[in-house]
Amino acid sequence: MTTVANRPLSGVRADFPILEREVNGHPLAYLDSAATAQKPRQVLDAMDAYYQASNANVHRGVYELGREATELFEGARERVAEFAGWDPKTTIFTANATAAINLVAYSWGEAYLSEGDEVVVTEMEHHSNLVPWQEACRRARAKLRYLHVSDEGLLSLDELDEVLAGGRVKMVAVAHISNVIGTINPVAEIAARAKAAGAVTLVDGSQAVPQLPFSVSDVDADFYAWTGHKALGPTGVGVLHGRRALLESMPPFLSGGHMISSVSAESSTWDELPAKYEAGTSPIAEAVGLGVAVDYLSSVGMENVRAHEAELTAYALERLPEVPGIHIPGPSADQRGGVVSFGIDGIHPHDIAEICDRFGVCVRAGHHCAQPLMRCIGMPATARASFQVYNTREEVDRLVEALHEARRVFGLTE
Amino acid sequence: MAMDALYRDFILDHYKNPRNFGELEPHDLEAHDHNPLCGDELGVHLRVEDGKITDVAFHGQGCAISQAAASIVSEELEGMSVEEVGQLPASWVIEQLGIEISPTRRKCALLNLKVLRGATTGDASWPEG
């Protein structure tokens, strides 16, 4: 495994044009893929080619161009569904993961959530899998409950069982991988326990899909949401995989063009899946780009992607403690995805990120859209480094150097 | 690295040893706010006599720029009228800091003015100008 990250995966780094640029006189070390990943040339070329040669609206035109655009768009759906391990008919294109989760929170919530019911989230959720449930509970007068995060950054299945035993839980919404502390949650086990207790599960897979070799079918959650731009694809497209019986019984989320079967003056009927949940013109070029992005990940091999990121993460967890006063919340390397948050005594994360940037090292600083988790780990903000297939050990070394420099700037060295 | 353009000794001194830091009990005016981008928090207590500021204390936590800016600004407020404080423009704060503030750090530098305006005028929108 050590051979994987000693150099970039063969040829991979050269596929990302942005990595050739400099920032503040240094080569770009992009360590913020958990926020958004960089895009390989293949994705950019495919989107460009779509607009230059095949652009037309989909599912409408009887002309050649319209057929071509439709084939590209639906072809992308099939590639994305195959990559994720789910049926294309119940694989819905949305604007992003937040839109996918809102779709469920509104449509499923309207059909299935009522006063006295409970929705369970965890303290480590990104706001995208938290705020929609706060709002759904407010609308339905349901109760929002939290699963705690332990000092080691883990969830407790025993606590889940206790909460489910109350008999009121209708929905369990959980992240597959925490975007802050990197915890890989046992989502298949969580979904199975929720199912046994009569609750449905939504998994936010935004961090997991670009990192882990797995099949959404094996997780077997009722809903699995993720976003394209963290998976080497473009912004503006996300994905919702859903259980057919639920998607058929729920009301539509957005209504309007394309999603109807017929419209009379008074009312309408809905088209079949997935069109029922894809009102309006879809993000066609973005879907085409995402189709190529998942093909790209497949060509590298998700086992290799995981091995590479796991090795970089372990290396970062080994080297970062060399920095005096550093704190790194979250689980050990083997239970963690490619993300490491940290704080340094005497320097605010915002200042850490500013000084790293002077060396061309991009790290995120702040609460990472996970304020309940930040309270839980007792750090109002952290700096965060996250890894993708194009990152190298040398970039981790440069991060560590920049952190030493930050301590010098702040007069924290003897 | 005393020559650092942003983290000058002046800024780091105010960050590490903030002036007028803490709470004032009792106080006449107060406000509390945060920067949703990075989670920085800042509150202010003001004592007022005859319409003029006599005492000021900031409290909170955040980056060097937000905390130093509050400390630097706090030293300028005594003797100003409540009305004057409510009308201070963003450019005045930047001038007090004496450093270049990039667009990404602007809210850090102006959080103190946001809470001061909240305390003196009730308007808690981000300062412009």
Count: domains in chain A: 2
Tell me, yes or no, whether A382 and A239 share the same domain: no
Residue B107 has what pLDDT?
93
Are the beta carbons of A238 and A287 closer than 8 angstroms? no
Q: Examine residue A367 and state whether it is found in any structural domain, yes or no.
A: yes
Nearest to B39 among A351, A366, A410 (CB): A366
B105/A354 Cβ within 8 A: yes
Catalytic residue (choose from A137, A356, A369, A376): A369
B65/A381 Cβ within 8 A: no
Residue of A nearest to B104 (CA): A354
Instruction: Kindly give the confidence (pLDDT) of every residue in chain A, 414 residues in length, as a single tens digit, with 9 standing for 90 and above.
Output: 334 444 457 689 999 999 999 999 999 999 999 999 999 999 999 999 999 999 999 997 789 999 999 999 999 999 999 999 999 999 999 999 999 999 999 999 999 999 999 999 999 999 999 999 999 999 999 999 999 999 999 999 999 999 999 999 999 999 999 999 999 999 999 999 999 999 999 999 999 999 999 999 999 999 999 999 999 999 999 999 999 999 999 999 999 988 989 999 999 999 999 999 999 999 999 999 999 999 999 999 999 999 999 999 999 999 999 999 999 999 999 999 999 999 999 999 999 999 999 999 999 999 889 999 998 999 989 999 999 999 999 999 999 999 999 999 999 986
Residue whose tokens read 């007090």: B96
Residue A348: list chain B partners with CB under 8 A: 40, 62-64, 67
Q: Could you tell me the pLDDT band of residue B3, with boundaries at 50, 70 and 90? A: low
Final residue belonging to a domain, choices A270, A298, A326? A298
A371/B108 Cβ within 8 A: no
Final residue belonging to a domain, choices A298, A319, A344? A298
B7 touches chain A (CB under 8 A): yes
Tell me, yes or no, whether A280 and A401 share the same domain: no
ipTM value = 0.91
Tell me, yes or no, whether A294 and A316 share the same domain: no
Helix, coil or strand: residue B105: helix
Residue A409: list chain B partners with CB under 8 A: 1, 4, 7
- Residue A361 to residue B1: CA distance in whole angstroms: 19
Other Cβ atoms less than 10 A from the Cβ of A369: the count is 19
* Residues ≥6 apart with Cβ < 8 Å to A95: A236, A237, A238, A283
B63/A350 Cβ within 8 A: yes
B38/A366 Cβ within 8 A: yes
The CATH number of whichever domain residue A388 belongs to comes to 3.90.1150.10
Q: How far is the alpha carbon of A28 from chain B, nearest alpha carbon, in Å?
A: 19
Q: Examine residue A36 and state whether it is found in any structural domain, yes or no.
A: no
Residue B7: list chain A partners with CB under 8 A: 351, 355, 409-410
CA dihedral A249, A253, A254, A256 (to 10 degrees): 20
The CATH number of whichever domain residue A236 belongs to comes to 3.40.640.10
B41/A410 Cβ within 8 A: no
B55-84 residues touching A, CB cutoff 8 A: 61-65, 67
Q: Examine residue A38 and state whether it is found in any structural domain, yes or no.
A: no
Q: Could you tell me the pLDDT band of residue B128, with boundaries at 50, 70 and 90? A: confident
A375 touches chain B (CB under 8 A): no
Q: How far is the alpha carbon of B2 from chain A, nearest alpha carbon, in Å?
A: 7
Q: How far is the alpha carbon of B62 from chain A, nearest alpha carbon, in Å?
A: 6
Nearest to A409 among B7, B16, B105 (CB): B7
Residue A349: list chain B partners with CB under 8 A: 38, 63
Tell me, yes or no, whether A70 and A161 share the same domain: yes
B1 touches chain A (CB under 8 A): yes
Nearest to B39 among A351, A381, A411 (CB): A381
Residue of A nearest to B8 (CA): A409
Q: Examine residue A198 and state whether it is found in any structural domain, yes or no.
A: yes
**What element of type H or E holds A132?**
helix A131-140
Residue B108: list chain A partners with CB under 8 A: 350
Final residue belonging to a domain, choices A245, A269, A298? A298
Tell me, yes or no, whether A111 and A220 share the same domain: yes
Q: Could you tell me the pLDDT band of residue B124, with boundaries at 50, 70 and 90? A: confident
Nearest to B37 among A354, A366, A411 (CB): A366
- Across A1-14, b (16+ Cβ under 10 Å) vs e yields eeebbeebbeebbe
Q: Backbone phi, then psi, for A187, in 5-degree steps?
A: -70, -30
Tell me, yes or no, whether A292 and A319 share the same domain: no
Nearest to A409 among B4, B16, B67 (CB): B4
Q: Output the DSSP codes for A195-240.
A: HHTT-EEEEE-TTTTTT----HHHHT-SEEEEESGGGTS-TT-EEE
Tell me, yes or no, whether A117 and A19 share the same domain: no
What's the half-sphere exposure (Cβ side, CA atoms, 13 Å) at A93? 30
pTM metric for this prediction:
0.94
Residue B39: list chain A partners with CB under 8 A: 366-367, 371, 374, 380-381
Q: State both tokens at B102.
A: 């990039």
Residue A106 has what pLDDT?
98
Task: Assess if CATH 3.90.1010.10 describes domain B9-121.
Answer: yes
Tell me, yes or no, whether A133 and A259 share the same domain: yes
Residue A60 has what pLDDT?
79
Q: Output the DSSP codes for A297-308.
A: HHHH-HHHHHHH
Tell me, yes or no, whether A275 and A364 share the same domain: no
Are the beta carbons of A241 and A80 closer than 8 angstroms? no
A87 touches chain B (CB under 8 A): no
Q: Output the DSSP codes for A366-407.
A: E-TT-HHHHHHHT-S-EEEEE--TT--HHHHHHHHHHHHHHH
Indicate which of A348, A371, A384 best probes the interface with B, i.e. most B CBs within 10 Å of its own CB.
A348
Tell me, yes or no, whether A173 and A271 share the same domain: yes
A381 touches chain B (CB under 8 A): yes
pLDDT tens string B19-45: 999 999 999 999 999 988 777 899 999
A366 touches chain B (CB under 8 A): yes
Q: How far is the alpha carbon of A410 from chain B, nearest alpha carbon, in Å?
A: 7
Number of CB pairs < 8 Å for A and B?
Answer: 47
B64/A366 Cβ within 8 A: no
A362 has catalytic annotation: no
By residue range, what is the domain housing residue A54? 44-298
Tell me, yes or no, whether A364 and A331 share the same domain: yes
Q: Examine residue A39 and state whether it is found in any structural domain, yes or no.
A: no
* Residues ≥6 apart with Cβ < 8 Å to A107: A250, A251, A252, A253, A277
Tell me, yes or no, whether A92 and A179 share the same domain: yes
Residue of B nearest to A405 (CA): B1
Q: Examine residue A284 and state whether it is found in any structural domain, yes or no.
A: yes
Q: What's the mean pLDDT when you consider all of chain B?
A: 93
Can you give the residue ranges of every domain in chain B?
Answer: 9-121
Bridge-based pairing of strands A143-147 and A118-122 is parallel
Give CA B45 to chain center in angstroms. Answer: 11
Query: HEC states along B31-91?
Result: EEEECCCCCCEEEEEEEEECCEEEEEEEEEECCHHHHHHHHHHHCCCCCCEHHHHHCCCHH
